[in-house]
Amino acid sequence: MAQYILRRLLWLFPVLIGISLITFVIMHLVPGGPWDREKQLAPAVVQNLNRKYGLDDPLWKQYLHLVANAIRGDLGVSYIYQDRSVTSIILQGLPKTATIGLLAFAIALGIGIPLGMAAAIKHNSWIDYLCVEFATIFASIPGFVLAFILIIIFSVTFHLLPTGGWGRPQNLVLPAFALAALPAAYIARISRASMLEVLGQDYIRTAHAKGLPQLVIYYRHALKNALIPVLTIAGPELGALITGSFIIEQVFAIPGVGRLFVQGVFQRDYGLIMGAVLFYAAIIALLNLVVDVLYSMVDPRIRYN
């Protein structure tokens, strides 16, 4: 297992190199630049800024300089945040984004797995139909649409929760549920399908024939094997939630990483874009590794050589 983890960690570096190259090429293919403003800057000012940040160098030289700095842990500086380092900007927004993401992930698991189990156990009953209807509806509603619906209901109509901002526990409720709805629907559907497959296995029928209590059969024997497909989607979902939902953070005015990334894209802040993309990619890759390791813990039959 240790060798497998080490090998996966070493493969992380070429993955990040490939992602950085693709991102770099796309950034410079898109029209515009970091100094484009409604009021155009003087050509001499633009020339001085390009010289200061090395943007007048050939593209290959800019990319090699970027990679060399990233290897040392330096993601560069932001062009729009007064020369602040990209690392400090990400670390400032990460706690807010991670708080919302982890809360949304807990809500998604707390809703999705029980609903999927209930639908499978009560297959073809009204409970099953109700759970499937829930999963279908919330899998079809975009997160930003649900965010506005929640704001209209709980903020504008009943005045129960704030429309946005940060700093109070009440500010977490609406964005967390807006983020959790889609993952909860996916997890419920996957849990239901996986649980139905497991409940049809021979060892489950044997457990019923031996007269074991229903709760023991469902939670001790069936659930553990049914969780393997759930883990497959839970890792990427957790990575997406932790690294932030761009639109949700914009809607609820949360000063997280996602909102900063959106601002960086619109203002062509090359340093912030590249730093955020590499940060997201590293988080997703590491969480996928965690999921693979958890496979062997949930199912002892899985071994990594």
Domains in the chain with CATH codes: 92-254 (1.10.3720.10)
**Six-digit token string for 89:** 């900007």
Residues counted in the chain: 305
Longest dimension (CA), the chain: 85
Burial class (CB in 10 A: 0-12, 13-18, 19+), 157: exposed
More confident: 157 or 8:
157
Q: Which has the closest alpha carbon to 261: 103, 90, 21, 74? A: 90
pLDDT score at 106 = 92
Residue 107 pLDDT class (50, 70, 90 cuts): very high
Q: Is pLDDT above 80 for 297?
A: no
Q: Is pLDDT above 80 for 301?
A: no
Residue 83 pLDDT class (50, 70, 90 cuts): low
| Conformational region of residue 142, where left means phi above 0, alpha means psi within -120 to 50, and beta covers everything else | beta
Report pLDDT digits (tens) over 27-46.
888 877 777 766 677 778 77
Query: For residues 96 and 255, what is the distance between their CA atoms, to the nearest angstrom?
Result: 7
Q: Which has the closest alpha carbon to 178: 202, 212, 211, 152? A: 152
Q: What is the mean pLDDT of residues 39-59?
A: 78
- Find out whether 57 and 65 touch, Cβ atoms under 8 Å: yes
Q: What is the mean pLDDT of residues 248-274?
A: 81
Among the residue ranges 101-110, 143-152, 287-296, the one predicted with the least confidence is 287-296
3-state secondary structure (DSSP) of residue 85 = strand
CB atoms near residue 140 (< 10 Å): 10
